[in-house]
Amino acid sequence: MKIGVFDSGLGGLVITKALIKTLPQYDYLYYGDSAHLPYGDKTSGTILNYTLQAMKYMIAQHCKLIVIACNTATAITLRYIQQRFIPIYAPDVKVLGVVIPTVETAIAQNQTHIGVIATNATVHSKIYTTELLKLNPKCTVTEIAAPELVPAIEADDFARAAEITHRYAPYFGQCQSLILGCTHYPLIKDYFRRELPNVSIISQDELMGEKLQDYLRRHSEIETMLSKSASREFTVSRSDCHAQQVAKILFEDIKICQAA
């Protein structure tokens, strides 16, 4: 029984690499919905439909624990999937998101002005603002969408991504910390750190490994069901040479396969 990692494209490979580094003994299946990216500019209904298709595929591939690495999919679909879909479709499967672990990390820094940069759909959902204020009602949240970043990163155009980062950085100059609220953004976290040297940059690849390790430590009933042969499978809904090039930024010997 595998740990599954789902993302709207290839950005979730950043999270997968972090999980494998911290928890290398487990079997992993990565699934990126590259045929439909980016999710950030789509309607909530469309995002839910695509995410449910992904969940069904990953469950059929024997994933017992699924991490929705996509912030947009987490924001729009996680509650529905946890409360309505999974209890009926696959009650023995657990599905987790990336937003709550990220919010917990930000609040633990005891800072009062927190920035969030994410996709349109994530920002419009207000999930980060809502969850941050739940934990600290006195904090100030500056949440801004940067819809151009994901297409630039997926196109392997990091020069353009650097320009976009430079354009958005001034909005967060007064923040004490900045949440990179998209799994693509860890690939350009150094750009944000260069532009905002006095702001603590919270990048999900730097926290999810430890957070999942802690979750499994607290949920032995799930941990004991996971297989441990250190196998890795990387699949996408549409594969091409470009996808292979982007993937190799993270995994030198990776082979991306198109899901059946």
Residues with catalytic roles = 70, 182
C-alpha span between 85 and 198 (Å, rounded): 43
Q: Can you name the residues that pair with 234 across neighbouring β-strands? A: 30, 256
Q: What SS3 state is found at 76?
A: helix
CB 35 within 8 A of CB 238: yes
CB 65 within 8 A of CB 226: yes
Token pair 């009650």 is at which residue? Answer: 91
Greatest extent of the chain over all pairs of C-alpha atoms, in Å:
49
Closest alpha carbon to 52 in 90, 12, 15: 90
